Structure 1
Amino acid sequence: MASLQRSLGRTQTAQDQISSGKQLRRPSDSPTGTVTALQLRGEIRANQKYSTNADDALGRLGAMQDNLQDSTVLITKVRELTLAAVSSGGSSTPEANKARAAEVEQIKGTLVQYANAKYLDRPVFGGFTPDASAYDDSGAYVGEDSGQTMRAIGPNAKVRVDVRGPEAFGTDYLVDDNGQFVDEDGALIPAGSPPVANPEQLFKLLDKVVAAMRSGDETGLNASLINIDKASENMKSTLSEVGARYNRVTQMKQSAEDRLMSVSSQLSDIEDVDLPKAIMELQFQQTSYQAALAATAKVIQPSLIDFLR
């Protein structure tokens, strides 16, 4: 009878494995396997979070990348208009320069829109600002200029997913011929005071270009050309950095997804049942149980009471 109960228990175990699809249903089934499964599950959750963070980072960096690229094109257009305004000949008449000034004003409005680009309803160039925009309508920076937005995209791997407005569109500081920061009056600014080493603020620069075009100030336009080139170089440098971050996040996301597949496969090997093997085991246990029943019937012969019944 004890053998029959053990055989029946093994049959029930095989049947439970087939119905659940799991060979680990409780820690007592395999203490070592249970510990390994828990560790693998923790790693799966971590890699899933890395992948989610990478998706968020790609969204933010992609929004910045697109707007910076479009801004670079517009800055190039401003340079062409400024260069045409200082050129000698019939094309640099006061009327033509006024038309160019109007076009530069429209370009400035478009650039302000790019500078206020949003991702998930937050300005990507606004830093930690809780406001809905990084720049006001005049082009003045109203975002938060401290701190960095980071995302964990792998074990001990974090990447910055923001670019503050002054880094891309310039600061309110100027750079003299010696490469030192000065204010608008030419006074030297102490080292470490400017938030970033950028050229003149782009939107103020455009205002100067517009004023110089309308007044026919050729000297001012020539000076603005130099600052426009600096702004363009700074924008391209920022775009290059954002692109490098984007590539790194893409690589880390792929790495996290590959690791996730590998760990999931390992977890399946530990937890999941081998269905063909389990079906064969169930059939074997059923046959064994039937044979045990037949053997028991021969050992325990019917008594006289059984015949009387």
Structure 2
Amino acid sequence: MTRVANISLSRNVLLSNQRNLADTARLQQQLASGKRIQNMSDDPISGRRALIFRVQHFELGRYQENIAKTLSFQQSTDTVFSRMTEIADEAKSLALRGVNASEDAQSRAVLARSMDGLLDRMMDLGNTVHDGRYIFSGAAVLTQPFVRDADGAVRYQGDLDDFEVSISQTTRVAVNLNGHALFKQEVDVFAAISRIREALDDNDPQRVEELLDDLDALQRHLSGKQGELGSRIQRVELTRSQIDFALVNISELLSIEEDVDLAETISKLQVAETTLEAGLNAGARVLRPTLLDFL
């Protein structure tokens, strides 16, 4: 009976020390990683909650990334709008000079060539690329939106739909502007400048004066579209603030569920190490072989 009792005692000591060693290793791992939950079995309820929060955090991070790209795209577009407005203002200034009776055919021809330059610059802006995508080609972001036909007329070959992305679970926004609606639909931006150029080439100041209204309409049109873009940017920035706030909350909830309490874990580790050391010492005495073990 004594030998059987010794075997049973030895087994219990070994099992106890194995548990103590596992507890010590678990606490050391928690301190090293900063995470209380290493496996779902550590705390199934908190583990499930943490998993849900991590999924939500990932989704919010994806929306945050979409928002950053959207704002970068739209702010680039806003800069292009400002340059387009400058071109419209220059066109108006050249046209007013062309109306002046002191200008002759030769000087108006020079003004017409300047109008050609403005037209080229406007087309270049219409074909602006940001981050590898055309900003005015609608959903067909890889297609150059504006090309010249054989007769010199500017033709739109982009898409009529907007390029949209999700910036929250319930919100999709148009990242860019439809080039057809901006340049060709309400006001034909290129035609307005081209007609002024032709009138200057024809040395027809009366016709130039009649076309000044087109340039006024162009300026109002660009200002209105830039205002629409500004409203879109404000909407995206508001959503960004909401997403940022939600991310902070989710991070805090995730921390509550899975992060270690440093002071508490250090205290538990010290207790576990003391218990393990005591168990090993006791085990060494219990497991020490005697003469009877060999009889």
TM-score bin (small chain): 0.7 to 0.9
Counterpart-to-counterpart distance in 1, 2:23 and 2:109: 93
CA 1:80/1:292 → structure 2, altered by over 3 Å: closer, same or farther?
same
Higher helix proportion? 2
Identity %: 21
Specify the alignment match of 1:151 in structure 2: 165
In structure 2, the partner of 1:120 is: 131
| Runs (5+) with no aligned partner, structure 2 | 1-8
Q: Secondary structure at the match of 2:38?
A: coil
The 3-state SS of whatever aligns with 1:170 is helix
Q: Structure 1: how far apart are the matches of 2:140 and 2:287?
A: 89
Shifted more, 266-275 versus 95-104: the winner is 266-275
- TM-aligned CA distance change 1:226 to 1:41, over 3 Å: same
Name the TM-score, length of structure 1 as normaliser: 0.80
State the alpha-carbon separation in 2 of the partners of residues 124 and 15 from structure 1: 53
Structure 2: distance between partners of 1:238 and 1:164: 11
Q: Could you tell me how far apart the structure 2 residues matched to 1:301 and 1:256 are?
A: 61
The letter for the 1-side match of 2:180 is P
For residue 18 of structure 1, give the secondary structure of its aligned residue in structure 2. helix
Alignment check: 8 A CA contact 1:169 1:235 kept: no
Which residue identity does 1:265 align to in structure 2? E
Unaligned runs of 5+ in 1: 172-197
Match of 1:166 in 2: 180
Question: 1:246 deviation in Å?
Answer: 1.9
Please report the TM-score for the alignment, with normalisation by the length of structure 2.
Answer: 0.83
- What letter corresponds to residue 161 of structure 2 in structure 1? G
Tell me the amino acid that sits aligned with residue 261 of structure 1. Answer: V
Question: Which shifted more, 256-265 or 50-59?
Answer: 256-265
Q: 1:304, 1:42 → 2: CA distance? A: 59
Cα deviations across residues 191-226 of structure 1 (Å, max 9, x unaligned)? xxxxxxx12x12122221111112232332122111
Name the structure 1 match of 2:49.
36
Which whole-Å CA distance do the structure 2 matches of 1:85 and 1:116 have between them? 29
Q: Which of 30, 34, 39 is the equivalent residue of 1:26?
A: 39
Partner of 2:202: 215
SS in 1 for 2:173: strand
Report matched runs for 1:256-275 at 5 Å.
Answer: 256-275=243-262
Corresponding residue number in structure 2 for 1:77: 90
What value does the CA root-mean-square deviation take over the aligned residues?
2.8
Query: Aligned partners of 2:257 and 2:210: how far apart in 1?
Result: 71
Task: Determine the C-alpha separation between the residues in 2 that align with 1:83 and 1:113.
Answer: 24
In the alignment of these two chains, the number of paired residues is 279
Partner AA of 1:115 in structure 2: G
What secondary structure is seen at the aligned counterpart in 2 of 1:235?
helix
The structure 2 residue matched to 1:233, chosen from 220, 224, 242, is: 220
| Separation in structure 1 between the aligned mates of residue 124 and residue 61 of structure 2, nearest angstrom | 35
